[in-house]
Structure formats: structure tokens, C-alpha cells
């Protein structure tokens, strides 16, 4: 690592780090972008590249009337007001400019938008080449900037300080001075030793797995302790429900024909809902169990598109990768992972559910199906397949896929890192997954994390360069 000093050192090269480096450079600062892995991008390069935004040119072209003010209001409501209003407002107001900024760097968005979760209008902007395409475009922009140096393959192990001010970083005996440091190191999903900080993963035990890059080791938690920074968001992280049939089989939505019940046999959620709402249902009422009948099993052919409520452009057109196709179901029945019985009353105890409660709940569900109306969760009629034809099948679900972590350094709307008293740590900024308190107690949906990375990465870079 170079021994010279820079105006800004950015640690981490995912969306947040790349955005911070480019904005710091655009503000006239000299920048060192330090990446501990052998390639730029981290977990960002593995993402789907969906960005949440409101009031964008893409929405306007699609005839969608939306605004930052509406997103701000919805964001606070859905996150249960667990995000500081100033931070939520900055995210909402910065979302559309971040998308236009990506466009200016050559990132292409599809004309079709999708719903993030249950918002009134679609806000998830789908990039043509996914997360890897965004990283490629921003990395190319970094390479064009003469005042951005890039250091690869060595992890920053400590922050340098002068009094209470952060003034650089170090790797072993090598030190680099800086007027300001931006931490964009990602989360801790790849560090299983830290998973105890995510109580919701406990039911999954060893079957849990992480969607992300190996570099997400929780460096921000170690670095925060060195300067007395506040860490908030304990227990937060986006965890996807799964039957756990196969490691690394990622299916973020469930087929709408499934019925999900709790241990008492009672339904607790619209089974076709977004993964964000599904996570809340599992955290509130889990573990949940998936129930279906022989008709559903026979209809779940792998050559047919899965019946999801939400389809993301670019997803496979058939169910080859689905957990819920006839060949996979039959394999799991043979392995004992899915239980089978001739009656619902008999099925219940086999999976840990009250059998009589299950039968009563499914009787109510089937009555609603016959009328084309779900009296409890308003699931769309096209998903209300009756569960009548024996044998019946069931299995346990768990929040077993860790998509991202939300515990990180407390920041304000300008991306300053805050100490325990809520005062900015001089010279230190944070953005992306390592910044706590942006995602809140509920994940708003597809594109929430990438929007946060871009908005607060850009914000951190600008303020770090100007020392505001």
C-alpha cells in the first residue's frame, strides 16, 4: 500500500465504495480506493442489480406518478419508523438522482419496473446486466479518474487517529494518511462466527447459508470499536424463508398455491407475498410450515413457469431452479424432508403442527377458494387452489438464507459516523451494508439495499472530500 496521503480513503469497493470514490473525486479530492479482495465489487457484483427509486425518468416513461415524498412516507411506515426520519428522507430524496447518475455512467435499465414489496406503485428499477453490470460501469469510471488510486488484496486492519479525529488507515506496518475515511466494507454475512448476532437464523442451524461474497467478514465492527463509534441494528438482516432442500438454491418468492401455517395449524400470511413481508411473518409467527396436496404436486411440472405473484425480468422461464417442482418434491418425500399423509389430521403431527387445527384452517381456506375470496389475507383468487385431493404434503420452513446484514455503524443523513453520544466522529463516514440504521427493522423490498449503498455512498464521498 502506498505511503502517501490522500484527501479521502475509501475502504471497500462495492456499490457504496465505488460511488463514494467517484463522488469524492468529482468534488476535487484525491482518493485511494482500498479493496481487501482480489477483485472489485464484493457482494454487489453478485446482486441482481435492482435499485429502488421514486420520481425517476424510468417511472415517468412508464407513466408512473411517484415522488420522493411518497417514498419517504412509505419507507417510514413499512420500516415501522425504526429509521431516523432524516436518514429516511435522505434515502428517498437521493434515490432518483442515484438512478440518473447510474444512467450517466452507462448503466441501462429495463422499461419494465416491478414492485419492491407492497408499495402503491412499482419502484424497483431492474438493470439490464444486473449487479455485475453496475460494478463494471462504475469500476470503468474509477479507472478513468486520474486522481483515484486503487489498492487491492490487503485488508485494512486499523484506523489511524490524531486526537479524536480519524486521519488514515493502516495495513500492518503500512500507513496511509487521509483527511477523511469512508468505510464501505459490507456486512458480516460471510463470517459465520458472527451469526449469533442474528437470532432469527437460529432455527435454521447448520442448514443456513449466505448469499454474498467472502469479503463480507464484519470488518466494520472491529474498526468501529477502535474509535468508539456507535453500532446499531443488532439482529437486523434480510433473511429469506426456505425449505432448505438444497444448499445454494435461491428462490426468493414462493409459488402462490402453497398454504402456510404455524404450529397451531393457523395461516399467518398471504403465501404469494413478497419476501420482505414473508420475513416479517416468520419473525412474528414462525416457524411456518408449507402445506399442499396431490393436485398441486402433479401440476408442479418443471417445464412450467412457477406461479409467483412477482416475476422479475430475467428470471428463468421454467421451474428448473425451483424447490417446488414434482421431481424435487418426490425426492424430498423419499428423503423424509417432506412428509405425506392421507389426511390433514394425520399430516399435522408428522411435521410438528396440531392436526385438528390444520384441518380446521384448511377447511376455512378451501371454503374461501370455492368462493374465489381469501377471507383472512386477501390472497389473489388465481392463487387460491383448494387443498382437497389426498395425499397431503407438508414441511417446515425457516429463515435460512442470509441475504444481507443490517447491523453497522450509526450514521446521520450526511453519512457521518456517530459515536455513542450521537456526535459525529471527525473524519469518519460510512455507507452501504456496514452503515446501521438505514434499513431498519423491516426490509422494504427489492432494491432497498442497493439504493442505500448508492445514495449514502455518494453522500459520504461528497462530504468526505469537502469535510462537511
Provide the CATH number for the domain around residue 294.
3.90.700.10
Last residue of a domain, one of 379, 396, 413: 396
Full residue range of the structural domain in which residue 351 is found: 244-308+320-396
Give the three-class secondary structure for 118.
coil
Last residue of a domain, one of 357, 381, 396: 396
**44 and 137 fall within a common domain:** yes
* Domain count of the fold of the chain: 2
**108 and 152 fall within a common domain:** yes
Cis peptide leading into residue 287 (ω within 30°): yes
In a domain, 315, yes or no: no
In a domain, 377, yes or no: yes
**131 and 274 fall within a common domain:** no
**256 and 284 fall within a common domain:** yes
| pLDDT, position 70 | 97
Non-local CB neighbours of 413 within 8 Å, separated by 6+ positions: 84, 86, 87, 89, 90, 459
**135 and 259 fall within a common domain:** no
In a domain, 1, yes or no: no
**304 and 366 fall within a common domain:** yes
**301 and 159 fall within a common domain:** no
**204 and 285 fall within a common domain:** no
| pLDDT, position 322 | 86
Which residues are 35's β-sheet partners? 152
**131 and 191 fall within a common domain:** yes
| pLDDT, position 309 | 65
Give 10-residue mean pLDDT values along the chain (468 residues).
81 98 97 96 94 96 96 94 97 98 97 89 94 97 97 95 96 95 97 91 76 95 95 93 85 92 98 92 94 96 75 56 91 97 98 98 97 95 96 96 96 98 97 95 92 98 90
In a domain, 313, yes or no: no
| pLDDT, position 248 | 72
Last residue of a domain, one of 381, 396, 411: 396
**354 and 414 fall within a common domain:** no
By the 8 A CB rule, do 288 and 257 touch?
no
**201 and 324 fall within a common domain:** no
In a domain, 249, yes or no: yes
Cis peptide leading into residue 391 (ω within 30°): yes
CATH number at residue 190: 3.50.50.60
Q: What is the DSSP string of 392-433?
A: EEEEE-EEEEEEEE--EEEB-TT-EEEBTTS-EEEEEEE-GG
In a domain, 460, yes or no: yes
**137 and 278 fall within a common domain:** no
| pLDDT, position 246 | 82
| pLDDT, position 303 | 83
In a domain, 81, yes or no: yes
| pLDDT, position 310 | 64
In a domain, 258, yes or no: yes
Non-local CB neighbours of 193 within 8 Å, separated by 6+ positions: none
Amino acid at each position: 500500500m502506498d505511503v502517501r496521503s490522500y484527501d479521502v480513503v475509501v475502504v471497500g469497493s462495492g456499490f457504496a465504495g465505488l460511488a463514494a470514490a467517484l463522488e469524492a473525486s468529482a468534488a476535487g479530492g484525491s482518493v485511494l480506493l482500498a479493496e481487501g479482495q482480489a477483485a472489485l465489487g464484493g457482494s454487489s457484483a453478485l446482486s441482481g442489480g435492482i435499485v429502488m427509486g421514486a420520481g425517476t425518468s424510468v417511472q415517468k416513461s412508464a407513466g408512473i406518478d411517484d415522488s420522493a415524498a411518497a417514498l419517504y412516507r412509505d419507507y417510514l411506515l413499512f420500516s415501522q419508523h425504526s429509521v431516523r426520519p432524516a436518514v429516511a428522507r435522505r434515502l428517498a430524496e437521493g434515490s432518483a438522482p442515484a438512478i440518473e447518475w447510474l444512467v450517466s455512467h452507462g448503466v441501462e435499465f429495463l422499461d419494465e419496473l416491478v414492485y419492491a414489496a407492497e408499495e402503491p406503485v412499482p419502484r424497483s428499477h431492474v438493470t439490464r446486466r444486473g449487479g455485475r453490470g453496475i460494478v463494471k460501469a462504475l469500476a470503468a469510471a474509477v479507472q478513468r479518474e486520474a486522481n483515484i488510486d486503487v489498492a487491492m488484496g490487503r485488508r485494512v486492519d486499523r484506523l489511524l487517529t490524531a486526537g479524536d479525529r480519524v486521519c488514515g488507515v493502516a495495513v500492518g506496518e503500512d500507513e496511509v494518511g487521509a483527511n477523511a475515511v469512508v468505510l464501505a466494507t459490507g456486512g458480516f454475512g460471510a463470517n459465520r462466527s458472527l451469526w449469533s448476532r442474528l437470532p432469527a437464523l437460529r432455527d435454521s442451524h447448520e442448514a443456513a447459508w449466505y448469499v454474498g461474497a467472502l469479503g463480507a467478514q464484519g470488518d466494520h465492527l472491529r474498526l468501529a470499536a477502535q474509535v468508539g463509534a456507535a453500532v446499531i441494528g443488532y439482529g437486523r438482516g434480510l433473511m429469506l424463508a426456505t425449505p432448505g432442500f438444497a444448499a445454494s438454491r435461491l428462490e426468493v418468492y414462493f409459488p402462490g398455491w402453497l398454504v402456510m401455517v404455524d404450529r397451531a395449524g393457523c395461516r399467518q400470511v398471504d403465501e404469494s407475498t413478497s419476501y420482505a413481508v414473508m420475513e416479517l411473518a416468520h419473525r412474528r409467527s414462525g416457524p411456518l410450515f408449507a402445506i399442499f396436496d396431490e393436485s398441486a404436486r402433479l401440476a408442479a411440472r418443471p417445464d412450467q413457469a412457477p406461479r409467483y405473484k412477482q416475476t422479475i425480468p430475467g428470471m428463468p422461464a421454467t421451474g428448473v431452479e425451483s424447490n417446488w417442482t414434482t421431481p424435487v418434491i418426490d425426492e424430498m418425500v423419499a428423503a423424509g424432508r417432506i412428509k405425506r399423509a392421507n389426511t390433514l389430521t394425520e399430516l399435522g403431527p408428522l411435521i410438528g403442527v396440531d392436526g385438528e387445527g390444520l384441518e380446521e384452517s384448511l377447511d376455512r381456506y378451501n371454503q374461501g377458494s370455492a368462493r374465489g375470496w381469501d377471507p383472512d389475507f386477501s390472497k389473489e383468487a388465481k392463487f387460491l387452489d383448494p387443498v382437497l385431493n389426498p395425499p397431503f404434503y407438508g414441511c417446515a420452513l425457516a429463515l435460512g438464507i442470509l441475504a444481507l446484514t443490517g447491523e453497522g455503524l450509526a450514521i446521520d443523513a450526511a453519512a457521518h459516523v456517530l459515536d455513542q453520544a450521537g456526535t459525529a466522529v471527525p473524519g469518519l463516514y460510512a455507507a452501504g451494508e456496514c452503515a446501521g440504521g438505514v434499513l431498519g427493522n423491516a426490509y422494504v423490498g427489492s432494491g432497498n439495499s442497493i439504493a442505500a449503498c448508492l445514495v449514502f455512498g455518494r453522500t459520504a464521498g461528497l462530504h468526505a472530500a469537502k469535510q462537511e
